[in-house]
Amino acid sequence: MEIWDLWYPKAGATGVSFARSSIDPADVVLVHAAPEYLTVTVRGPDGSVRAEGKDLPVTADTPITRLRCTGGKIEREDIWPTEEDIGRVVLLPGGEAGILLNWWNAADHSEWRWQVEFYNHR
């Protein structure tokens, strides 16, 4: 497991947590309703930093953000999901993690429909 810690650095005096989630290791993660800036830290099970991205600005007006780990850095791309994103982890505000099962959007991006599966066990 690894911890994805997403921080909104422009809120208040020092920022506020947007989402924190413990998920299976992933090089690409989707985020729903990400704020205009994100600072992201990915930590391994021992607490060591695997990747970071600081004050990543929004790249487009979309409902989904794709975060990609590349060489210890996090890259941000705001997207309309495609077939390649089906099956990826989606982080929601607060940190709940699900799997994107289906995505559809109108050609003019005026509406969209999506399905996410959530699974938990003790």
3-state secondary structure of 34: coil
The tokens for 50 are: 């695997």
Where are the alpha helices (H) located in 1-122, listed in sequence order? Answer: none
Burial class (CB in 10 A: 0-12, 13-18, 19+), 90: buried
pLDDT tens, position by position, 79-109: 999 999 999 999 999 999 999 999 999 999 9
Q: Are 62 and 78 in contact (CB under 8 A)?
A: yes
Cβ neighbors of 4 (< 8 A, separation 6 or more) are 19, 20, 21, 22, 23, 29, 40, 41, 42, 67, 91
Cβ neighbors of 46 (< 8 A, separation 6 or more) are none
The model's pTM is 0.95
Return the domain boundaries, the chain: 2-117
- Confidence label for 13 from pLDDT (cuts 50, 70 and 90): confident
Residue 116: CA atoms inside 13 Å, Cβ hemisphere, count? 16
The tokens for 98 are: 């699900």
pLDDT tens, position by position, 48-60: 999 999 999 999 9
The tokens for 106 are: 């109108």
